[in-house]
Copies of this chain bind each other. A is one copy, B any other.
Amino acid sequence: MNQHDPARTYRAAVIGAGSGGLTVAIGLTGFGHEVALIESGPVGGDCTNVGCIPSKALLHAAAAGHTDPFGTVRAKRDGLRDREDAEMVDHEMIHLVRGRGRLTSRKGPHVVEVTGPDGSTVEVVAENVVVCAGSRPVDFGIDGLDDEHLLTNESLFELEEVPSKVVLVGGGAISLEMATAFRDLGSAVEIVEMQDRLIATEDPLVSSTIEAVLRERGVVVHTGTTIHRFDSTTAHLANGATIDDVDKVLLAVGRRPRLDDLGLDAAGVTVTKTGITADSFGRTNVDGIYAVGDVTGDTATTHGANSIARRTIRAIALPKLPKIGGARAHPNAVFSRPQIASVGMSVDEVDALPSIGRRRYVVQIADLDRAYTDDVAHGIAIVDAERFTGKILRAAIVAPTAAEIIGMFTLAIDHGIGLRKIFATVHPYPTYALLVGTVADEFASDTFSTLPQEWWAMARGRVARRLKR
């Protein structure tokens, strides 16, 4: 149904066909609404084209030793993109309008001006507009770095050959994942991170754990410095060190919302430097204008965009329902090896709480029997909880399956299940997931010791205890 009807007022115009936009568009059609979906690039957005899908495919291809890793990745990416594109073109209730969308009105029905690839413009009229314009990598010029040596998450997956040496600029999620992949592919890898530790959004113990793993695997980590200058094949760091024989430099220093040329001013939408201001239903300050996903700066993940998108669908399709129900806990995940995952309050939010009412429980993954059988030396679980109730404030895990386990903490946070209740939960042995039980045992041994008879000793069961001496 790829035919835009200029006379029609759609229930919604969705700007951007990435993770957030696709969810909103398809979700609204389920309620019987026709939707205009406006996209200037390939359907699927960053996730399909330059993010989740190719990066996870590369991690897999590298670990599995595929002979043409980048070709494998591109084939998967293209296959998915083509399917998603065809689905939108063929959709009975979605009009895919190819071009750049731009808000023009402060009041509904809103008019979105779409400039197509040939420069022609059409107007899309809709009761609601959902801005899902995504984000772009932070622009970070390095003096002397030419296009031959530069990689971004957009050009990365176009490589034909495995580079001999890669410098990763930034120490966040993309960098940790690509350090894992490139080492598996046989590249020499060095990371340059401006802050004093890797993945600084997480707890320092998380940083030191993943850094220990990467160093053991031969990755050179430079923290507290930047690349000052690039010269031929040498990176000169601000701290005076140099990295020679550099083949590629991957810029992965974060993302910023894609706000330009969206007509946000014309529409009167409130924007800060972090992105469009929107509530947990995606509502901006302007009636009928919503913002979902990276463009808000509140999330930079597909699952984050999806979660808010589902609430936006509810707000648009069922406007009379009260807008209650807090947003759920949003987990973070990094698919390095080991994986890193966290959920709950931020590290800073926890640190800002009075220390007297909370405790921190730390479990070394190497103390789990599964780590013993599987030769896993590094890993950690850190849980901040209220002192007596065991209410979970934040959980962070570095473990082979961290992203698969974090859901137990997400569920516990969403539903107020504290460590006191989790204490009796039975976990299969031997798994990494047993860390959840071990954390609950730490809580019990800490808290129950205030009871007579050292009740806490009950926690000292074999499953939790073995190898922990």
Q: Which residues of A contact B (CB under 8 A)?
A: 19-20, 22-23, 26-32, 47, 52-53, 56-57, 59-60, 64, 76, 80, 83-84, 87, 301-307, 309-310, 313-314, 317-318, 325, 328-333, 341, 369-370, 372-375, 401, 403-408, 410-412, 414-415, 417, 421-422, 424-434, 436, 453-467, 469
Of B408, B432, B463, which one neighbours A302 at CB under 8 angstroms? Answer: B463
Q: How long is the Cα–Cα vector from A27 to B174 in the complex, in angstroms?
A: 45
In the assembled complex, how far is the CB of residue A240 from the closest CB belonging to chain B, in whole angstroms?
39
Instruction: Decide if B83 touches A30 in the complex (CB within 8 Å).
Output: no
Instruction: Decide if A303 touches B426 in the complex (CB within 8 Å).
Output: yes
Instruction: Decide if A306 touches B462 in the complex (CB within 8 Å).
Output: yes
Instruction: Decide if B424 touches A414 in the complex (CB within 8 Å).
Output: yes
A341 cross-chain contacts in B, Cβ below 8 A:
428
Q: A80-B372, A460-B27 are in contact. Are A406 and B421 (CB under 8 A)?
A: no
Instruction: Decide if B462 touches A19 in the complex (CB within 8 Å).
Output: yes
Instruction: Decide if B414 touches A454 in the complex (CB within 8 Å).
Output: no
Q: A411-B425, A457-B31 are in contact. Are A83 and B469 (CB under 8 A)?
A: yes
Supply 21 A–B pairs (Cβ within 8 Å), ascending by A: A22-B462, A23-B461, A26-B461, A27-B460, A31-B458, A47-B429, A53-B369, A53-B372, A80-B466, A303-B427, A304-B426, A305-B462, A306-B429, A314-B458, A317-B458, A318-B453, A403-B428, A403-B431, A405-B405, A407-B425, A411-B417
Of A56, A432, A433, A466, which is in contact with the most chain B CB atoms at under 10 Å from its CB? Answer: A466
Instruction: Decide if B332 touches A428 in the complex (CB within 8 Å).
Output: yes
Q: How long is the Cα–Cα vector from A189 to B59 in the complex, in angstroms?
A: 30
Given A306-B461, A407-B427, 11 other A-B residues pairs in contact with their CB atoms under 8 A: A27-B461, A30-B460, A52-B369, A80-B372, A306-B462, A309-B461, A328-B425, A332-B428, A333-B428, A405-B405, A411-B412
Instruction: Decide if B373 touches A76 in the complex (CB within 8 Å).
Output: yes
Q: How long is the Cα–Cα vector from A258 to B27 in the complex, in angstroms?
A: 57
Of A302, A422, A434, which is in contact with the most chain B CB atoms at under 10 Å from its CB? Answer: A302
Q: Which residue of B lies closest to A60 (CB)?
A: B374
In the assembled complex, how far is the CB of residue A244 from the closest CB belonging to chain B, in whole angstroms?
33
Q: A404-B404, A469-B87 are in contact. Are A53 and B415 (CB under 8 A)?
A: no
Q: How long is the Cα–Cα vector from A64 to B23 in the complex, in angstroms?
A: 40
Q: How long is the Cα–Cα vector from A132 to B26 in the complex, in angstroms?
A: 57
Q: Which residue of B lies closest to A28 (CB)?
A: B457
Q: Which residue of B lies closest to A19 (CB)?
A: B462
In the assembled complex, how far is the CB of residue A160 from the closest CB belonging to chain B, in whole angstroms?
20
A60 cross-chain contacts in B, Cβ below 8 A:
373-375
Instruction: Decide if A406 touches B426 in the complex (CB within 8 Å).
Output: no
Of B307, B455, B463, which one neighbours A303 at CB under 8 angstroms? Answer: B463
In the assembled complex, how far is the CB of residue A68 from the closest CB belonging to chain B, in whole angstroms?
14
Q: A373-B53, A373-B56, A469-B83 are in contact. Are A427 and B331 (CB under 8 A)?
A: yes
Instruction: Decide if A414 touches B405 in the complex (CB within 8 Å).
Output: no
Q: How long is the Cα–Cα vector from A417 to B412 in the complex, in angstroms?
A: 10
Instruction: Decide if A454 touches B56 in the complex (CB within 8 Å).
Output: no
Q: How long is the Cα–Cα vector from A27 to B459 in the complex, in angstroms?
A: 7
Q: A60-B375, A372-B80 are in contact. Are A425 and B429 (CB under 8 A)?
A: no
In the assembled complex, how far is the CB of residue A386 from the closest CB belonging to chain B, in whole angstroms?
18
Of B32, B410, B461, which one neighbours A426 at CB under 8 angstroms? Answer: B410
Q: How long is the Cα–Cα vector from A357 to B291 in the complex, in angstroms?
A: 40
Q: Which residue of B lies closest to A414 (CB)?
A: B425
In the assembled complex, how far is the CB of residue A322 from the closest CB belonging to chain B, in whole angstroms?
15
Q: Which residue of B lies closest to A342 (CB)?
A: B428
A374 cross-chain contacts in B, Cβ below 8 A:
56, 60
Q: How long is the Cα–Cα vector from A373 to B431 in the complex, in angstroms?
A: 24
In the assembled complex, how far is the CB of residue A30 from the closest CB belonging to chain B, in whole angstroms?
2
A405 cross-chain contacts in B, Cβ below 8 A:
404-405, 407, 433
Of A328, A454, A455, A461, which is in contact with the most chain B CB atoms at under 10 Å from its CB? Answer: A461
Of B26, B305, B411, B464, which one neighbours A408 at CB under 8 angstroms? Answer: B411
Instruction: Decide if B370 touches A328 in the complex (CB within 8 Å).
Output: no
Q: A53-B369, A56-B370, A369-B53 are in contact. Are A461 and B310 (CB under 8 A)?
A: yes
A411 cross-chain contacts in B, Cβ below 8 A:
408, 411-412, 417, 422, 425
Q: How long is the Cα–Cα vector from A314 to B375 in the complex, in angstroms?
A: 35
